[in-house]
Structure 1
Amino acid sequence: MEKTNLRPPVYYSEYLQLHKILDAQLPESEKEGIKADDEMLFIVIHQTYELWFKQILHEITIVRNIFKQPNVSDNSPDIYNAVSRLKRVCEIIEVLVQQMSILETMTPLDFLDFRDLLRPASGFQSIQFKIIEALLGLEYKNRFGQEYYLQQLNETDRQKVIDAEAEVSLIKLLNNWLERMPFTQFEKYWQISENSETHEKQSFFNIYREQYLSSLQPAEMANLEVFDMLFMNEGNYPTDRRLSIEASKNALFIMLYRDYPLLHLPYELLSLLLEIDEQLSLWRYRHIHMVQRTIGKRIGTGGSTGGDYLKSAADQHVIFKEIAELNSFLLPKNMLPKLPENLVKDLCYSRE
């Protein structure tokens, strides 16, 4: 017998719950009998932000679950899925930046019609944005304005943020994934060549260091000290770095030899994390200029210093800066140490 579809028909407005969404704009000015035509725009824009934040959290959760697995193959569908999700996050944040243009059609005088009615509500109370930052890897100790960070939230929202900070962040999961890569762990990968004079095997980073040293300009010699601290002298490795020495070495190896097929997706993933930082910075700085244009030197509705607070937070809240720092140690392709044939075969899809 033919199966009967028992599912009820889906209706557009019910599926999208439009009765909830379109009835969710309740301007404070209307409650007070004040004419403020632009408050509707202000509400819709910020509700849209929060919907996009929800989607970003959805994507980040999927990516974090991928990297929570004990074994994630570099050429598995999981890495492709993670890269696709992070691309989407970048596109969404770009939309958030562009939405500022719509909000800027509201003049400072129009904003004053209803601004004082919003106190003490503030975008600073967006717990979804705080959770996004925390799940990506922004730690409480590195936040600017810790005195404002949680005190303006109600108890329920405060606990949600605290719970998010207790989760394993994406940067920690990334560190674990990079540490599991074999480039610094197995002798056949690590011993690259023999010195023709002493016949003593040298590690890849010893050989690479010689090439790197020859490429530096006099003004760049300080970079060599950082390089040696990060890669050559494990005893002096900075304890405050979220990427371990193994993870940093493997990440740099990926960036240097990205042209090998097996490293295409890992390299793209690292690049997308840097793009997320860049897009978030653009969003913050666009926000700064909008706030300065709209309220000048006024105090924010939530009690912060307004534009000055936003600028300091933008300068400090860089999440994946340790990956960006590795770009200081790149070499032209023609200077890269040649890899052994067995490693080259492992980095290509054909293993013959």
Structure 2
Amino acid sequence: MPENNYPKLHNATWPGIVGKGDDSEPVIPFDTMLEMTANAEVDGVKFDGVDLGLLGPHVDIDSSDDDIKRLADKIAGHGLNVGSLVAPIWGGPTLGTDDDRRTFVEMVRKACNFGKIFREAGIRPSGVIRIDSATSPESWAADPATNTKIIAGVFREACDVAADFNEQLAAEGEICWGGMHSWKTMIDTLEAVDRPNIGFQADMSHTLLYTMGYNRPEDRILPVDFDWNDRETLTAALKTLTDALRPWTIDFHVAQNDGTVHGTGSHDKTGRHCLATDPNGKLDVAADAGFWLRDENGNLTKKMKHICWDGCMFPNSVMHMQQTWNDILAMLIKVRNAHGWYEA
């Protein structure tokens, strides 16, 4: 039998930006992120592509169509495709002003245009536009019912814009974003949007914190005194979580977490991404990815045509080592070997 060649294996570019900057370490240049990704190799297997943060200074969201085509050529020149795109919506919080909400939707429109041009260039066979509420859990908690409706209304407008580009939007479940800071509030928000082209972006680091009830203790799944050596209880919690969110899941990040929160620079505390080889990681990454990539009966869903490693807020010294990216690629290969498939 041929080896699995799906899902395709992608690296993320935004770890060169997220948690970096003026009050932290310097941003890692976009070209460096591409080179490290393209140079990674494990037993002859290489990354298939990158998921792209449309974030300055890596990418100018106001790029002209010709600039976007040149960016496509640059990425393709490294032998890489593009998958999911991160819309830079944080200048337009959903619970801000009317102008803020218009900015949010406009950022989604601009991101969709990137996606369209990448598809036309032949380098984007799969992927979504990633969004969040760009607002804090504290802001949401001031009036949960009303604020959920407001967030859903903005997402609905963004979905309608995305539909014009034949794009799907994926809301990432991070505990730092209001209305999506727990697994239950995430589902409530998605249901309220009521559009066919919205779904959930699962990141294994962030979703582990959902089971622990960070920022919303009443939605905790694991017991308060949980012992991380109790794999049976952890497995049951992950099954509860994924059974609820899997039907919504349209994009997937492979990641590790040590059970704590972390933030650097201007990035609020969220799931602590750990290296693929971190001995303190609480997940059996290759096995636990199956909760997302297989249905409740253990059958492959084949919904995700590519998967992406998301590792933010690592020290620059670590990210400049080629072995870091080889180890990450090796973990993605393990996930594909366990939960992938072959297509001719």
Q: TM-score, normalised by structure 1?
A: 0.24
Which is richer in helix? 1
What is the TM-score normalised by the length of structure 2? 0.24
Q: Larger Cα Rg: Structure 1 or Structure 2?
A: 1
Higher percent of residues as strand: 2
